[in-house]
Structures are given as structure tokens and as C-alpha cells.
Homo-oligomer: A and B are copies of this chain.
Amino acid sequence: MPRQPVTMRTLAKELGLSLSAVSKALNDYPDIGTETKKLVLGKAAELGYTPNILARSLARKSSSSVGVVLRDVSSVYGEMYKSLNEVARRHALHLILYDTNNDRAVEKWCVQNLIDSMAMGIVISPVSEDISEIRESTRGRVPVVFLGGKVTDDSVNYVCSDSAAGTEAALRSLIEGGHRRIAMVCDSKKSSSRSGKLAVYRRMMSEIGQPARVFFSDDADMDAIWAGYLEGRRLLESGDDITAVFVVKDMMALGVIQALTEAGTRVPEQISVIGYDGIDAAGLPMVSLTTVAQPRMEMAEKVIDILRRHADDADAPPEHYLALPELVKRKSSGPASLRI
């Protein structure tokens, strides 16, 4: 028999109490008797009462779910979802995950939907650096945290890894390994310079008295691994006798490696490769990519943290968090002395 759901009304009836008394007991209000509270809680446990989240959210005008809007769930940020989910669960929050597939229209739809579901917050890795539309539709209604280096507008909340520090760590490890002719492979001119990776590279190259050797892949729509592959080939054809290369994205780094090994260049014996992101695949034994990994749990915690603070106080000042990434050394890089 499909007994019908037990609501607050059921509890109230059973105990001869008013609805408000039950509500107060369940929500730890101050003006409720200790005895009554016990009674209500007992009955609730007995009847297996669980609050209807929808009704509660509607009445409270804010739900307990946060929207996660990603350009591509099969990216680092998708992999960060696991951490995000765990942190969220600890705070009894629910995550609604959207993959916008890099489509601004879809992105807008997702954001609107989240607003209409009275989401408690939105974390988003936006399609474009132009976030005016997102700001427009979320305007004051719901706190937003931008994820990843795409947005570093100080008037909004954002969490990303400190790419300057990460880049420096990667390059320093190469330089300390004796490398001098170090190339850099970037995805897009804009994002690499905005995040500071490019600037750090330029500075460090000039510090060791080397020219900057930068390879740009500016075709946004290309598969990252394939983009990396093309740049790997260009790098080989450049004629520069490069001994190491720093790639701004792991996926592209895999493409670079592919191009190198295909041309008979051994990694890391002839050329060391370091990526950036710390994707799961980098850790596979047959991949074993040295990479600058982002501290996922830390970032996830910070995201939820900021969201909660801004949910409590709509006028809280914008917050920014730069997580310190960690260089994870694997088999794709080594000292320059490996060279024959």
C-alpha cells in the first residue's frame, strides 16, 4: 500500500499541535518548549518524516541547491566536480550540473533556469570572458562564483589557481634541471596573457638570457589534443634546438607529446614536457605527464565557502581566491642532462 507522504501537517495532527509549532521544533526556533521539541522530533523520526525541499525553498525564497555550469564537463573542472560534490554534501547542498558545450545560448538558458529554481548560488566556468549577460541575469538575485582563470574581474567572485606561481614552479624546475632553450605552447593569446603565464615565462626567459619561444594555437574550436599536436609539429620544424616545453593545458601537452614521439623525438630524453591543470589522465602510467596540478579540494571548499557567505549577506564584498597549484613531477620531464 503506497501510504501517502507524511508532511508537517501529519505530525501536527498526530500531536495535536499547530503547524507553526511543528515547524519551529524542526527548525530549532528559540520560542519552543524543550518538551514539545522532543515530542515533535520523536514523532518525525517515528513516522519517517522528511521535509519537502521544494516547499521549504519556496517559502524561504532560497533553495539549497547550487548550480554548476561548465563549459565542458570532461575538463579539469568536471574532474573537480567530485570534490565540489563532497563539500556540498557536507553542507547539505545539492549540485545541479550543466554542460554548456561552449554555447552561450545554452549557458544563458542554464543560468536562467537556476534563477528560476531559486538556486542558492551558481558556480560557473563561463564560455566567454564577456560576462555582461551573466551579470545582467543574475544581478543581485543570486551569488555567483567564477571558476578558472577566464574571469579575473575584481568586482565579481572568482576562484582559480595562481597560474603565475604554477608557471614559475614549472619553469624553475626545468631551469634547475639544466634546461635553457625552453619553449612555451599557449592556447589562446588572450587567456595565456591574462592569466599571467605568458608574462612569467617571458620574465624567466629573460632572466636566464634566453629569447622567448612561444607557440600560439589560436583556433578556439579545435580539439585541444589536436591543437597541441599541431603546435608540437611547428615546434619541431622551428629548427630551434629546444630541450623543454611548457604547455598551458594538459590536453594540449598530450598532443605535443604525440607529435614529438611520432617524429622520433623521445620524451623526456630529448625534450621535456610539462603541462598545466592536473587532469586525471596525466596520472595514467602510459601517459605520466608532469603537470601543474590545481588543488581541487581546496578550491571546491573555497567556492562553497564564498557562495555561503554571499547567500547569507547579499552585500558581502566580492571575493577572490588564488589557489597555489603544485608541480607534480612525472616521467614526461627530466633534467637536461638526459640528452645524448
A contact residues vs B (CB 8 Å cutoff): 2, 5, 50-55, 57-58, 63, 65, 73-74, 79, 81-82, 85-86, 89, 94-99, 101, 106, 109, 112-113, 115-118, 139-141, 225, 254-255, 257-258, 261, 280-281, 284-287
Q: Are B118 and A106 in contact (CB under 8 A)?
A: no
Q: Are B285 and A286 in contact (CB under 8 A)?
A: no
Task: Select from chain B the residue with minimum beta-carbon distance to A67.
Answer: B94
A54-B58, A254-B285, A284-B225 known; A94-B73 Cβ under 8 A: no
Task: Select from chain B the residue with minimum beta-carbon distance to A50.
Answer: B116
Interface centre among A54, A58, A95, A258 (most CB of B within 10 A): A54
Q: Are B284 and A53 in contact (CB under 8 A)?
A: no
25 A-B Cβ contacts within 8 A? A5-B141, A50-B116, A52-B118, A53-B116, A53-B118, A54-B58, A54-B63, A55-B58, A65-B117, A73-B82, A73-B85, A74-B82, A85-B98, A86-B99, A89-B109, A94-B96, A94-B98, A94-B113, A95-B96, A96-B97, A97-B97, A254-B285, A255-B285, A258-B285, A287-B287
- Contact partner, A79, options B53, B74, B117, Cβ 8 Å: B74
In Å, the complex CA distance between A3 and B258 comes to: 54
In Å, the complex CA distance between A258 and B284 comes to: 9
CB distance from A263 to the nearest CB of B (A): 13
A2-B140, A96-B96 known; A74-B116 Cβ under 8 A: no
Q: Are A96 and B65 in contact (CB under 8 A)?
A: yes
Report B-chain residues with C-beta under 8 Å of the C-beta of A109.
Answer: 89
In Å, the complex CA distance between A109 and B272 comes to: 47
CB distance from A88 to the nearest CB of B (A): 9
In Å, the complex CA distance between A112 and B50 comes to: 8
Q: Are B280 and A51 in contact (CB under 8 A)?
A: no
Task: Select from chain B the residue with minimum beta-carbon distance to A84.
Answer: B99
- Contact partner, A81, options B5, B96, B97, B140, Cβ 8 Å: B97
In Å, the complex CA distance between A332 and B285 comes to: 15
Q: Are A51 and B116 in contact (CB under 8 A)?
A: yes
In Å, the complex CA distance between A76 and B116 comes to: 31
In Å, the complex CA distance between A95 and B70 comes to: 13
List the 6 closest pairs (A to B, CB-CB), nearest first.
A258-B285, A2-B140, A53-B117, A97-B97, A53-B116, A54-B58
CB distance from A307 to the nearest CB of B (A): 17
Q: Are B118 and A99 in contact (CB under 8 A)?
A: no
Report B-chain residues with C-beta under 8 Å of the C-beta of A99.
Answer: 81-82, 85-86
In Å, the complex CA distance between A264 and B147 comes to: 43
Q: Are A286 and B117 in contact (CB under 8 A)?
A: no
Task: Select from chain B the residue with minimum beta-carbon distance to A92.
Answer: B113
Q: Are A118 and B54 in contact (CB under 8 A)?
A: yes
Q: Are B117 and A97 in contact (CB under 8 A)?
A: no
